Amino acid sequence: MNKNKTIILILMLALSSSLLFAQFSGGSGTEASPYRISSEEDLRTFSQLIRLDSLDDFGENVTWSYGKYFILTNNIKKYDDFLLGYFRGNFNGRNYKTTVGQASSSFDFSSGLFLWVYDCKISNLIVDIADFSDIGYQASNIGVVNHAYDGAIIENCINIAVFTRFASLAGGIAKTVFGNNAQIKNCMNIGKIKHTGIYSGNFSYGGIVGGVEPNAFCIIENCVNYGSIIEINDGVYSNVAIGGIAGRSGGGQIRNCVNIGFMFTNYGQIGGIVGEEN
């Protein structure tokens, strides 16, 4: 058994080393010389390296991206099943756009770019979701991040994706915010969220964040939602919360935020900023 584990570790290290030698499109991963991501191939390499960390327990053991710097140098399209795993570095989109495909069966049945972000910074990024089918159900619809955890900073990001597949959680920037000291600042949602179907359960939709977990100490500030949020559900039991900024909020502070988007649901609660506080 130990021999097999050693072989697996060696293979993982070999893969990591071979990917690193590719060096993206330049850079060394430092603040002065960040890794340059300029193509679909670069983004795939980035995803593969982060997913190596994702095989370990989430938290401080996620070490490959920790302290590393990355920048986009081009608009990039990537259409296959795609989430960027667990991230602890600094990712500056430099106001370029990433267009990614919808997820299918992996990584929580979710859309979006990053899966977990922790003790990191993601900034100046525009996200779109391509070929997003309205057929079927998935766990969440998100533009930038599935889960923002302790110390994550998401700043100056824009979601333009339109979400029409039915999901239990949806947020233009993030699905959920957990833990302490996460910050979402100066972000904008332009994309529309429209869900129709026959489903029962609890559903939470926000222009910026689907939900802030109970007792999370986070800050959401200077954010704007322009996108409409519409939920029409013919389920036997549905508890829906729709908010221009957050669908549900269990903690933290939301300040200096504005909602301009139209909102409607035939079940549940609607709030201009927060749909429901718990």
What domains are there in the chain, each with its CATH number? 69-277 (2.160.20.110)
Asked whether residue 156 carries a pLDDT value surpassing 60, the answer given is yes
Residue 91: per-residue pLDDT? 97
Please report, as a single letter, which amino acid is at residue 172.
Answer: G
Question: Is the Cβ–Cβ distance between 142 and 134 less than 8 Å?
Answer: no
The arithmetic mean of pLDDT across residues 100-127, rounded, is: 75
pLDDT tens digits, 8-58:
444 444 444 444 545 799 999 999 999 999 998 898 888 888 877 765 555
Q: How far apart are CA 146 and CA 169, in angstroms?
A: 10
The arithmetic mean of pLDDT across residues 238-267, rounded, is: 92
Q: How far apart are CA 187 and CA 125, in angstroms?
A: 10
Which residues lie across from 176 on neighbouring strands? 147, 211
pTM: 0.86
Question: Is the Cβ–Cβ distance between 51 and 39 less than 8 Å?
Answer: no
